[in-house]
Amino acid sequence: MRKHKIRSGMIGLALILAPSIAQAQSADPLAPTGRWTANTDGQAATPPMGWNSWNAFFTDMDEEKVLASAQKIVSSGLAAKGYRYINLDEGWWEKRRMLVRTEKFPSARTDDGSTSFRPFTDRLHAMGLKAGLYSDLGRNTCAQAYMPDEPNLPRGNVREREVGLYGHIDRDIGLYFGEWGFDYIKIDGCGLRAYGPDSALVKSGRYRELYPILDLRDVNKSDIPAVRNLFEQVKVALARHASDGDYLLSLCIWGSANVRSWGKDVGNISRTSDDIAPRWDALLTNFDTAATRALYAHPGSWNDPDMLFIGKGDFDENHLVEAQSHFALWAMLNAPLLIGTDLRKTPPLLMDVFGNDRLIAINQDRAVIRRSSWIVRAISRRW
């Protein structure tokens, strides 16, 4: 009797477990069990393409120069190939309250004495393009720290020259995206590292101290949670003020603060290196920083070894092979393709480099991961 009960119990248990066992046997053992958690907010399903004012003009850019470059993007056919962002870098500020330099951007004048970039962004949008703007995560900017004698720096007293996002993130993002209609923001981190108590600019009284929480050379000297938190505040503000999701967030802290491990969860572009220079050795340095981080890139967030420097130095029209190589390497990395030259003066040979259909197709291919291991192997052989 006891054996019969045990046998009956075992049979009952087998009947209960049978469906789940059969289910487990029929399931695909290679089927993914996780879910994608990295950032996919914003407009970066593929690496962004466009133009930025910095390499061509530094802080000496104005409305005429920018709109002429935008018009060249359209008339040359580059816009139809995907180049759509026209990005203002440093040089646009008059002072805090986000007053625009109206001698540089006359369309920003308003009747009430304030300023607005809305006429400027409306014009770019009417051309079928997108508008980008520059800011800093600290109180002050990179040019204020490292180009202190530039004539186009913010003016006014100490507080009026504090044009960065620090302490004003939600308000400034609301102005840039909600009122002015921008679609892209590049955010530097010089304000978080260059205005410490030992800074000559701080000691002179020109700028207020902001204790450094960012260190380019030693990750252990960066306050990683604090830096990330500030960028996450920007992301929250973008979700609030660009509620249609039509924005792009560029993190420009040069690979510091261990940004490789968290940038993909916050922004759409993350700089991997210091600023590029129009020299072949500088190109290789910047390329290496992105090639060794290939698996950190994905649709929604991309490695950024800095803008294209085609048009100057080792990459001008007299160095066509080098210019073509620069473009090809950035295309293979799935890096942003942001032109950095004065398009009013760019010769046809270099315009052809920017318009290379096959390389653009490689850069814009969403199946980026399948090439990542190949890129790393290729760079390891070092030509």
Question: Hey, which residues are catalytic here?
Answer: 188, 275
Task: From 162, 164, 156, select the one nearest 207 (Cα to Cα).
Answer: 162
* 3-class secondary-structure state, position 94: strand
For residue 91, give both structure tokens. Answer: 């040089």
- Measured CA to CA, the distance from residue 279 to residue 319 in angstroms comes to 11
- Measured CA to CA, the distance from residue 348 to residue 309 in angstroms comes to 16
Task: From 237, 276, 239, 235, select the one nearest 255 (Cα to Cα).
Answer: 276
Q: Are 179 and 118 in contact (CB under 8 A)?
A: yes
- Measured CA to CA, the distance from residue 170 to residue 239 in angstroms comes to 10
Neighbours of 322 (CB within 10 A): 18
Q: Residue 258 region, left (φ>0) first, then alpha (ψ -120 to 50), else beta?
A: left
Q: How many CA atoms are closer than 13 Å to the CA of 297, on its beta-carbon side?
A: 37
Crossing angle of helices 118-126 and 63-75, in 10° steps, is 10
Q: Are 87 and 52 in contact (CB under 8 A)?
A: yes
Crossing angle of helices 280-291 and 369-381, in 10° steps, is 130
Q: Residue 344 region, left (φ>0) first, then alpha (ψ -120 to 50), else beta?
A: alpha
Neighbours of 82 (CB within 10 A): 17
For residue 121, give both structure tokens. Answer: 């962004």
Neighbours of 334 (CB within 10 A): 26
For residue 206, give both structure tokens. Answer: 């020109």
Crossing angle of helices 369-381 and 320-332, in 10° steps, is 140
- Measured CA to CA, the distance from residue 208 to residue 214 in angstroms comes to 17
